[in-house]
């Protein structure tokens, strides 16, 4: 079945450093969604990417969808302690398929 | 507040027992998803219901079952519980779309933490 892989599993950065997490699928995706889960919380939707090569920005967060629609990335510029949490990508193969979540990247930011 | 309500928040029981987890989706949402989250497995999709009908199945064990009722709330039943079933169980609902699989984001409840002793 469809596999969505995320790397790295964990990342520890100093506040102010940049952070990137990568998401790769074994199959072409129709769309990809990103979620953030704070420690002790539930996943919260951040953004959805649909088009090949699409780039979207939310303040310090930049999301990209690969040209082949098989990979995606989330880049955070100048991390802050409020960025701490686990970032999940979730991809859908197409109509009729469920959303598949990656295992997430846990980000720790130390001041 | 996501608008998705899950009860109970915590559940402690013993091996071999049966429990029922409940989820009320956001008002108007027809789709309900169940996920299991454990430390080493991330967020595992279990099952999806759309307007009362099962639409997709993931890694759901035969000991687990779910249903969605006419008022759209859903229940996840876990039976013959094993130690490995200890996890956080999330319910999510998705906004109304053209199809059961449309691309609206999922909204998660706070989860039920199940501990098997």
Phi, psi dihedrals of residue A9, rounded to the nearest 5°: -75, -35
Digit-coded pLDDT (tens) for A33-55: 999 999 999 999 999 999 999 99
Q: Which residue of A has its CA nearest to B94?
A: A45
pLDDT in tens, A51-80: 999 999 999 999 999 999 999 999 999 999
Q: B55 to chain A: which residues are within 8 Å by CB? A: 98
pLDDT tier, A94 (very low <50, low <70, confident <90, very high otherwise): confident
> Which residues of chain B are within 8 Å of residue A95 when distances are taken between CB atoms?
99, 101
Cα-based angle A103, A104, A109 (whole degrees, multiple of 5): 150
Q: Which residues contact B108 (CB under 8 A, 6 or more apart)?
A: A42, A43, A44, B2, B4, B90, B91, B92
Q: How far apart are CA A24 and CA B42, in angstroms?
A: 16
Cβ–Cβ under 8 Å, residues B52 and B69: yes
Mean pLDDT of chain A: 93
Residue A96, pLDDT score: 65
DSSP state of A25: E
pLDDT at position A92 = 86
Q: Does B70 touch chain A (CB under 8 A)?
A: no
Judge whether A34 and A89 are in contact, CB under 8 Å.
yes
Nearest residue, CB atoms, A95 vs list B41, B92, B99: B99
Does A10 have pLDDT greater than 70? Answer: yes
User: Can you give the pLDDT of all 117 residues of chain B as single tens digits?
Assistant: 889 999 999 999 999 999 999 999 999 899 999 999 997 668 899 999 999 999 889 889 999 999 999 999 999 999 999 999 999 999 999 876 655 555 688 999 999 999 999
pLDDT of residue A48: 93
Contact A98 B45 (CB under 8 A): yes
**Given an 8 Å threshold on Cβ–Cβ distance, is A104 in contact with B99?**
no
Judged by DSSP in three states, A83 sits in helix
Q: In this predicted structure, what is the pLDDT of residue B40?
A: 67
Q: Residue A34's closest CA among A61, A70, A60, A53?
A: A61
Does A101 contact B101 at a Cβ distance shorter than 8 Å?
A: no
């Amino acid at each position: 079945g469809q596999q969505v892989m995320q790397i790295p599993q964990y990342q520890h950065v100093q506040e102010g450093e940049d952070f990137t997490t990568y998401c790769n699928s074994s199959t072409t995706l129709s769309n990809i969604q990103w979620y953030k889960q704070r420690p002790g919380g539930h996943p919260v939707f951040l953004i959805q990417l649909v088009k090949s090569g699409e780039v979207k920005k939310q303040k310090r967060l930049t999301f990209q969808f690969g040209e082949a629609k098989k990979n995606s990335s989330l880049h955070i510029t100048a991390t802050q302690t409020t960025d701490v949490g686990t970032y999940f990508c979730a991809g859908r193969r197409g109509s009729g398929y469920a959303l598949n979540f990656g295992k997430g990247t846990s980000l720790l930011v130390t001041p | 507040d996501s608008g998705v309500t899950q009860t109970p928040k915590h559940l402690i029981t013993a091996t071999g027992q049966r429990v029922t987890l409940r989820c009320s989706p956001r008002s108007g949402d027809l789709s309900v998803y169940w996920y299991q989250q454990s430390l080493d497995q991330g967020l595992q999709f279990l099952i999806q219901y759309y307007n009362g009908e099962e639409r997709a199945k993931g890694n759901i064990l035969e000991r687990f079952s779910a249903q969605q009722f006419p008022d759209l709330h859903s229940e996840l039943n876990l039976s013959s519980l094993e130690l490995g079933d200890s996890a956080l169980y999330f319910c999510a609902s998705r906004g109304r779309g053209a199809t059961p699989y449309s691309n609206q984001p999922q909204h998660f409840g706070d989860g039920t933490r199940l501990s098997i002793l």
